[in-house]
């Protein structure tokens, strides 16, 4: 146990389904909320703020589903200091309420248009009423960072006397600094105190950790840091900081962090930044030759935590910074064993591609290796023609004529869009040569304008083996077909070589 945090038990209150859903453009169905809540409970969070029961019938349905699901986590709902909010929470089956009252003069006068005395009276009445309804009460001071701390302390103290079980300090606009938190949190710990931070100035994680050190016993968090404006304190960052930097065992199943993050990203439609800590695409991706060389010897050289500890895997990508160690590792994974002279030439060519600003895919590496090592790579699949038809009243349809292992194959397929239809017909047409699955599809515009060059990257899988491939055209359908066909040829190369050997 870290001496900085003491021998205390910290709790985690997840508000992804309430504060996180207030991210502009995010709207979750009751079934979506239940799926996320089940994952949150499974990973080990203590409290799930499932939404605001008074907001809509859909919210009440979601809270009822979560409350009735038999989850280990406590089901909580946001309420104002109003009896109707509390009634909705109780009737929806919530275990507890996050009772939020404004405490700064700015919020009291401008938002509520009331006095401190009126807000205090409302808060005490609401706490007492919630207890009468059999609810656990977490009394929360909104905009506490900018409040008169004497008034806040009085509100907390009287709230406890009125029956509040827990307290919460809300840094509503992210202006609390870690240094200030260490000063003002200790005298407010009259009951179990939560810290609720927003990340407007990028201090949410640091302030949350400082509040823990100062006596807070619970943090309000959201998965991936979702939330209004710049979001809330990210769940995954708090957990891994406590585990890694402070040696504190959170009780969270950290190997489920990445699956949880991807689930929330998928259901909310909010992707995380590529360089986001813990869960971003680049968090465990390495290119630099010096870094990669150190990683192969000991991963701790350039990684503070192992990717496996959060349910991820390390990726080594190749480019102009790549050295012999990383290129050799990629080649070994792809089934190549170059001699030192060949490896030197392959590294040189990989760097040349990187200097052109290109993303170096597995297919690029294999093509280079084939050329350098003088391997014949006869195409197994070639496209003779393809046509895609799509329109406002037409189901997108693609037809293709291909040559597969020397035999002409013609096929057609429909899809959700022209690209989907094209990729479906390709997969169907090569079925005789092998079952190839499309695991990932990514497209980005390289240049601007209506004639933009698009770069399509795909990840294909066959018999447990995966490969990435790339296509670049001004036509997204042509680029997609190019990427898939090139990747399919690479995946089927071993099968073709075996077929030719058997023939010989």
Q: CATH no. for residue 48?
A: 3.20.20.70
Residues 339 and 199 in one domain: no
Q: What is the mean pLDDT of residues 353-372?
A: 77
Domain count, the chain: 3
Residues 130 and 73 in one domain: yes
Residues 367 and 385 in one domain: no
Q: Are residues 40 and 74 in contact, defined by beta-carbon separation less than 8 angstroms?
A: no
Is 468 among the domain residues?
yes
pLDDT digits (tens, 9 = 90+) for 312-339: 877 777 888 888 888 888 888 777 889 9
Residue by residue, DSSP assigns 170-186 as EETTS---HHHHHHHSG
Place of tokens 């096929």: 411
Q: CATH no. for residue 479?
A: 3.30.160.270
Residue 49 to residue 87: CA distance in whole angstroms: 16
Residue 1 pLDDT grade (very low, low, confident, very high; cuts 50, 70, 90) = very low
> Phi, psi at residue 485, to the nearest 5°?
-65, -40
> Phi, psi at residue 78, to the nearest 5°?
-75, 135
Residues 76 and 201 in one domain: yes
Please give the pLDDT value at position 285.
74
Residues 355 and 398 in one domain: no
Quote the domain boundaries for residue 452.
381-503
Residues 312 and 258 in one domain: no
Residues 57 and 173 in one domain: yes
CB environment 136-171: b (16+ within 10 A), e (fewer): bbbbbbbbbbebeeebbbebbebbbebbbbbbbbbb
Element (H, E) at 235: helix 235-245
pLDDT digits (tens, 9 = 90+) for 381-398: 888 998 999 888 889 999
Long-range contacts of 146-152 (CB under 8 A, 24+ apart): 146/104, 146/106, 146/173, 146/175, 147/103, 147/104, 147/105, 148/104, 148/105, 149/184, 149/187, 149/188, 151/103, 151/116, 152/103, 152/188
Q: Which residues contact 363 (CB under 8 A, 6 or more apart)?
A: 467, 468, 469, 470, 486, 487, 490
Residues 187 and 260 in one domain: yes
Residue 79 to residue 101: CA distance in whole angstroms: 9
Structural domain ending residue among the three candidates 240, 268, 296: 268
Q: Are residues 240 and 305 in contact, defined by beta-carbon separation less than 8 angstroms?
A: yes
Q: Which residues contact 260 (CB under 8 A, 6 or more apart)?
A: 39, 40, 43, 223
Residues 52 and 196 in one domain: yes
Per-residue pLDDT at 499 exceeds 60: no
Residues 449 and 355 in one domain: no
Q: Are residues 81 and 49 in contact, defined by beta-carbon separation less than 8 angstroms?
A: no
Is 460 among the domain residues?
yes
Is 120 among the domain residues?
yes
Residues 338 and 427 in one domain: no
Residues 259 and 112 in one domain: yes
Structural domain ending residue among the three candidates 372, 401, 425: 372
Structural domain ending residue among the three candidates 342, 372, 402: 372
pLDDT digits (tens, 9 = 90+) for 130-154: 999 999 999 999 999 999 999 999 9
Positive or negative, the Cα torsion across 440, 286, 249, 135?
negative
> Phi, psi at residue 419, to the nearest 5°?
-65, -45
Q: What is the mean pLDDT of residues 277-296?
A: 70
């Amino acid at each position: 146990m870290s001496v900085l945090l003491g021998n205390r038990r910290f709790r985690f209150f997840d508000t992804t389904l309430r504060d996180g859903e207030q991210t502009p453009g995010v709207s979750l169905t009751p079934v979506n909320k239940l799926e996320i809540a089940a994952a949150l409970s499974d990973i080990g969070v203590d409290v799930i703020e499932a939404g605001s029961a008074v907001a809509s019938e859909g919210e009440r349905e979601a809270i009822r589903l979560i409350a009735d699901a038999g989850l280990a986590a406590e089901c909580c709902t946001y309420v104002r200091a109003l009896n109707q909010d509390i009634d909705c929470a109780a009737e929806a089956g919530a275990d507890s309420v996050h009772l939020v009252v404004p405490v700064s003069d700015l919020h009291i006068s401008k938002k509520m248009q009331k006095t401190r005395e009126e807000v205090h009276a409302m808060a005490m009445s609401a706490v007492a009423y919630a207890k009468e309804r059999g609810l656990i009460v977490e009394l929360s001071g909104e905009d506490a960072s900018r409040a008169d701390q004497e008034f806040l302390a009085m509100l907390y103290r009287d709230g406890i006397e009125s029956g509040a079980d827990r307290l919460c300090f809300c840094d509503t606009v992210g202006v609390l600094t870690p240094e200030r938190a260490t000063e003002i949190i200790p005298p407010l710990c009259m009951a179990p105190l939560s810290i609720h931070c927003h990340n407007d100035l990028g201090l949410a994680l640091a302030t949350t950790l400082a509040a823990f050190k100062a006596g807070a016993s619970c943090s309000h968090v959201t998965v991936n840091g979702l939330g209004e404006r710049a979001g809330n304190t990210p769940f995954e960052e708090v957990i891994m900081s406590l585990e890694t930097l402070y040696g504190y065992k959170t009780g969270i199943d950290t190997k489920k962090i990445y699956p949880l993050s991807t689930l929330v990203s998928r259901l909310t439609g909010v992707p995380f930044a590529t360089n986001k800590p813990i869960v971003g695409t680049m968090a465990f991706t390495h290119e630099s030759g010096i870094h990669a060389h150190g990683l192969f010897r000991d991963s701790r050289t350039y990684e503070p935590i192992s990717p496996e500890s959060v349910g991820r895997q390390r990726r080594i990508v190749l480019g102009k910074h790549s050295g012999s160690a990383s290129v050799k590792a990629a080649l070994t994974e792809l089934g190549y064993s170059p001699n030192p002279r060949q490896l030197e030439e392959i590294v040189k060519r990989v760097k040349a591609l990187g200097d052109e600003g290109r993303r170096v895919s597995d297919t690029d590496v294999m093509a280079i290796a084939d050329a350098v090592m003088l391997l014949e790579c006869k195409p197994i699949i070639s496209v003779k023609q393809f046509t895609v038809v799509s329109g406002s009243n037409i189901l997108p349809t693609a037809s293709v004529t291909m040559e597969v292992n020397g035999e002409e194959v013609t096929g057609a397929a429909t899809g959700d869009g022209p690209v989907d239809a094209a990729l479906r017909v390709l997969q169907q047409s090569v079925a005789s040569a092998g079952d190839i699955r499309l695991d990932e599809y990514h497209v980005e515009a390289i240049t601007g304008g209506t004639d933009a060059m698009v770069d399509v990257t795909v990840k294909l899988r066959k018999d447990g083996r995966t490969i990435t491939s790339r296509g670049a055209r001004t036509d997204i359908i042509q680029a997609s077909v190019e990427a898939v066909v090139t990747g399919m040829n690479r995946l089927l190369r071993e099968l073709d070589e075996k077929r030719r050997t058997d023939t010989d």
